[in-house]
Amino acid sequence: MATVHKINEDLVKERQKCTFNVQELTYLLDGGEEVTKERREFENILRNVKELQDEVPEVYLSHKERYENAVRKTCILQNVRNDFEKKREVLSPRNIFRAGYAVIKDVSPFFLHNGMFVPTIIGQGTPEQQAEWLPKAKAMAIIGTYAQTELGHGTFIRGLETTATYDAKTEEFILNSPKVTSYKWWPGGLGTTVNHCITVAQLYINGKKYGIHPFIVQIRDLETHKPLPGIKVGEIGPKMGFATANNGFLGFQNFRIPRKNMLMKNAQVLKDGTFVKGMNEKLTYGTMVMVRVNIVSDSAFHTAMAATIAVRYAAVRHQSQLKAKEPEVQIIDYLTQQHKLFIAIATSHAFSNTYTWLYQAYLKVVEDLGKQKQDHLPELHALSCCLKATSSRDAGVIVEQCRLACGGHGYMASSNLPIIYGYTTAAITYEGEHTVLLLQTARYLMKAWMSALEGKVLAPSVAYLVDWLKSDKQRWQNTPEVIVKGFQHVAAGKIKDAFDAIQKHVKAGKDYEDAWNLASVQLIKASEAHSRAILCDGYLRETVRTSSSVSPSLAKVLNHLVQLYIVYWTLETAGDLLVYSNIGKDDIAVLKEKYEELLALIRPNAVGLVDAFDISDEILQSTLGSYDGRVYERLMEEAMKSPLNKEPVNQSFHKYLKPFIKKAKL
């Protein structure tokens, strides 16, 4: 039986101070009591699977051993999950998915199977193709990934070089990678795990190019797992993080696949080679929109993980004296520490709330597309791009801030903060590089601005441009609602400035594309300001909405958090607000005080707030952040697992050090 340890006294006291019901907040964050219960039930099942316990911490394994262990555990995890899901209609797959963090210490080599391979078959396949591939894929009789990026191109996907040339005689496509830069590079699981992939390739029919399309390709023999003839595949090697994601490369040499393997929900190639255009060629990019929406939720979770670790640690850790002769204080009582950490809690809430409405907007667009309606697609694309970009970037900054807030111990692998940083920082690049996605949103914002000038009705997320043009700037008040308007004014002002900058360059004789490039720093700033306005507005509205359905004590805490988020960003962007809104210096001085008041109000609830994220110790995997707060004992226990501590004298002493020291003595 596992030993039950006493909970650290500071944490006990912190939990007694909490003014709201932690369980109530957990239910709210999960999406309901039933969802929480289901998630906990699944986590409990996993906790009791003996084969999933690591004998040696993964960090001490070689690259190869680590991968093999990850595959072993992912297979067990998937079986447990399949059994669990067979017995019920799962309420929240994303909540079930999060339990996987307790098993795979880094990123699963199957990550892309559920994350992109299956969704692409659903989103891009015809009903017949879905009937053929989905049952096998869902049962994992075939395992796949999403192979789009190449050595030469990741962002500019119209420039991909893999070719799929249609041969009407045999009704096949012939896949080729003409140059080294045409090799697929990056797909997760591609290295040595998957036997299938979605390959995105340039379609050629009778020498004519028809743009990029997705194809299902079997790349390995299902029995022997050997690459099929004409396939060159392997792993790309170690990276900054993602140690077990098994990212791979892939090249094709005259590799033939049947015509039916082109996913044809949008565009089709008929038997005779006739190309039938789809409703909108950008629907081929649909899986990326879905993943970008999901990244907002991932960012919320990774921020919650880091906040949980750093807040619990800050409650347990005592360092320095505030006043002479008094005991050393809990570091959480330093205001600067609260400044680093409470924004982490609020940010996670901001992203969860944003994901809630963004996911609904995504579902609505999918439903509309089923009815051949695509009116809301451009707005969704613009929102998913800037919110993916901002949430992943903010999460990266916050996780690093939490690591720094843990001082030296935050640098230990056993704190788990380095691995969490590995996930968050990768998300800034993958699924659309940060700047590139901000520029996609900027493209939409420039059109929206033009429409606003023409007096047209705008989509809801940019309707503030019309208000801004019509009205005088509102008299400033330090209320959340007026501050949100202030963020919209900043966004509108920056959008106008970027637009004017482009016009100025065009008037000076530049091509529109060059003018765009010359204005692009202003364009990304406009896009960032738009994201911040959307985040603050959505978070405030969702909080107001939920506050009426929760207990008054919880509503109060949620209100403190949303205010903290809004005031924090007001102070961070005060310069912009001074330029573009009616805020005055005195208002800023008042808000500085307000911010300090909010830190004090949140202080007694800090531990309760991170407890409410309900991230189990197995998922958190952190010596610094466990529920019981046995920080120092755990650090020592983990250190003792180092293979270097298993023998009193390491052989290198006899081999190298002893002769070296002897020589030095002579």
Ligand X SMILES: Cc1cc2nc3c(=O)[nH]c(=O)nc-3n(C[C@H](O)[C@H](O)[C@H](O)COP(=O)(O)OP(=O)(O)OC[C@H]3O[C@@H](n4cnc5c(N)ncnc54)[C@H](O)[C@@H]3O)c2cc1C
Ligand Y SMILES: CC(C)(COP(=O)(O)OP(=O)(O)OC[C@H]1O[C@@H](n2cnc3c(N)ncnc32)[C@H](O)[C@@H]1OP(=O)(O)O)[C@@H](O)C(=O)NCCC(=O)NCCSC(=O)CCCCCCCCCCCCCCC(=O)O
Q: Which of 109, 115, 125, 214 binds ligand Y (CB under 6 A)?
A: 115
Q: Which of 79, 155, 336, 503 binds ligand X (CB under 6 A)?
A: 155
Assess 516 for contact with ligand X (CB under 6 A). Answer: no
User: CA angle 252-254-260, nearest 5°?
Assistant: 90
Which tokens hold the place of 615?
Answer: 């991230």
Residue 242's binding partner among ligand Y, ligand X, none (Cβ under 5 to 8 angstroms by kind) is ligand X
Assess 432 for contact with ligand Y (CB under 6 A). Answer: yes
Residue of 429, 431, 423, 435 lying closest to 304 (CA atoms): 423
* Smallest separation, CB 360 to ligand Y (Å): 18
* Smallest separation, CB 641 to ligand X (Å): 28
Residue 97's binding partner among ligand Y, ligand X, none (Cβ under 5 to 8 angstroms by kind) is ligand Y
36: amino acid identity, one letter: T
Beta-strand relationship, 208-218 and 196-205: antiparallel
Question: Counting every residue, how long is the chain?
Answer: 666
Residue with smaller CB distance to ligand Y, 346 or 383: 383
Assess 357 for contact with ligand X (CB under 6 A). Answer: no
- Cross-strand partners of 164: 175, 203
Consecutive H or E run containing 172: strand 172-176
Interface of this chain with ligand X, residues 432 to 451, rule: CB under 6 A: 432-433, 435-436, 439
What residues have CB less than 8 Å from 244, skipping those under 6 apart?
58, 66, 67, 69, 70, 104, 105, 106, 107, 108, 109
Assess 477 for contact with ligand X (CB under 6 A). Answer: no
Contact map string, positions 361 to 400, toward ligand Y, x by CB under 6 A: ----------------x---x-------------------
Residue 435's binding partner among ligand X, ligand Y, none (Cβ under 5 to 8 angstroms by kind) is ligand X
Q: Which of 23, 79, 82, 155 binds ligand Y (CB under 6 A)?
A: 155
Which residue's entry shows tokens 């040696």? 56
Residue of 359, 358, 298 lying closest to 535 (CA atoms): 358
Q: On the CB side of 108, how many CA atoms lie within 13 Å of its CA? A: 25
Q: Which of 97, 101, 117, 186 binds ligand X (CB under 6 A)?
A: 186
The neighbour count for residue 61, using CB atoms within 10 Å, is 18
Q: Which of 38, 43, 235, 431 is catalytic?
A: 431
Q: On the CB side of 589, how many CA atoms lie within 13 Å of its CA? A: 3
* Smallest separation, CB 161 to ligand Y (Å): 14
274 DSSP 8-state letter? -
Which residue's entry shows tokens 């209320």? 479
Residue 443's binding partner among ligand X, ligand Y, none (Cβ under 5 to 8 angstroms by kind) is ligand Y
* Smallest separation, CB 384 to ligand Y (Å): 8
* Smallest separation, CB 1 to ligand Y (Å): 32
Contact map string, positions 254 to 293, toward ligand Y, x by CB under 6 A: ----------------------------x--x--xx-x--
- Cross-strand partners of 55: none
CB-neighbour burial class of residue 604 (10 A; exposed 0-12, middle 13-18, buried 19+): middle
Consecutive H or E run containing 201: strand 196-205
Q: Is 61 helix (H, G, I), strand (E, B) or coil?
A: coil
HEC per residue, 216-250: EEECECCCCCCECCCEEEEECCCCCCCCCCCCEEE
Assess 426 for contact with ligand X (CB under 6 A). Answer: yes
Interface of this chain with ligand X, residues 56 to 115, rule: CB under 6 A: 112
Cα(35)–Cα(32) distance, rounded to whole angstroms? Answer: 5
Closest-by-Cβ residue to ligand X is: 154
Closest-by-Cβ residue to ligand Y is: 115
The neighbour count for residue 508, using CB atoms within 10 Å, is 9
* Smallest separation, CB 287 to ligand Y (Å): 8
* Smallest separation, CB 114 to ligand X (Å): 12
Assess 440 for contact with ligand Y (CB under 6 A). Answer: yes
Cα(262)–Cα(125) distance, rounded to whole angstroms? Answer: 8
* Smallest separation, CB 212 to ligand Y (Å): 8
Residue with smaller CB distance to ligand Y, 22 or 383: 383
Cα(588)–Cα(583) distance, rounded to whole angstroms? Answer: 7
Report how far apart, in Å, the C-alpha atoms of 393 and of each of 297, 353, 421 are.
13, 17, 11
270: amino acid identity, one letter: L
Which tokens hold the place of 552?
Answer: 């008054």
Assess 145 for contact with ligand Y (CB under 6 A). Answer: no
Q: Is 550 helix (H, G, I), strand (E, B) or coil?
A: coil
Q: Is 359 helix (H, G, I), strand (E, B) or coil?
A: helix
Interface of this chain with ligand X, residues 236 to 275, rule: CB under 6 A: 242, 247
Which span (56-64, 428-436, 552-560, 586-594) binds ligand Y, by CB under 6 A?
428-436
Assess 210 for contact with ligand Y (CB under 6 A). Answer: no
Which residue's entry shows tokens 């080294």? 180
Contact map string, positions 325 to 364, toward ligand Y, x by CB under 6 A: ----------------------------------------
* Smallest separation, CB 119 to ligand Y (Å): 8
- Number of residues lying near ligand X (CB under 6 A): 23
Q: Which of 95, 149, 308, 384 binds ligand X (CB under 6 A)?
A: 149
User: CA angle 272-277-282, nearest 5°?
Assistant: 140
Q: Is 132 a catalytic residue?
A: no
Which span (111-119, 474-482, 502-510, 593-601) binds ligand Y, by CB under 6 A?
111-119
Cα(449)–Cα(85) distance, rounded to whole angstroms? Answer: 47
Residue with smaller CB distance to ligand Y, 282 or 592: 282
- The answer to whether 395 and 420 are in contact (CB under 8 A) is no
Cα(431)–Cα(292) distance, rounded to whole angstroms? Answer: 7
CB-neighbour burial class of residue 429 (10 A; exposed 0-12, middle 13-18, buried 19+): middle
Which span (32-40, 139-147, 293-301, 323-331) binds ligand X, by CB under 6 A?
139-147
Interface of this chain with ligand Y, residues 37 to 96, rule: CB under 6 A: 93-94
What residues have CB less than 8 Å from 544, skipping those under 6 apart?
none
Residue with smaller CB distance to ligand Y, 377 or 406: 377
Q: Which of 69, 124, 148, 162 binds ligand Y (CB under 6 A)?
A: 148
Which span (141-149, 332-340, 389-397, 535-543) binds ligand X, by CB under 6 A?
141-149
The site for ligand Y (CB under 6 A) is made up of: 93-94, 97, 111, 114-116, 146, 148-149, 155-158, 188, 282, 285, 288-289, 291, 294, 377, 381, 430-432, 436, 440, 443
- By annotation, the residues acting in catalysis are 431
The site for ligand X (CB under 6 A) is made up of: 112, 145-149, 153-155, 186-188, 242, 247, 426, 429-433, 435-436, 439
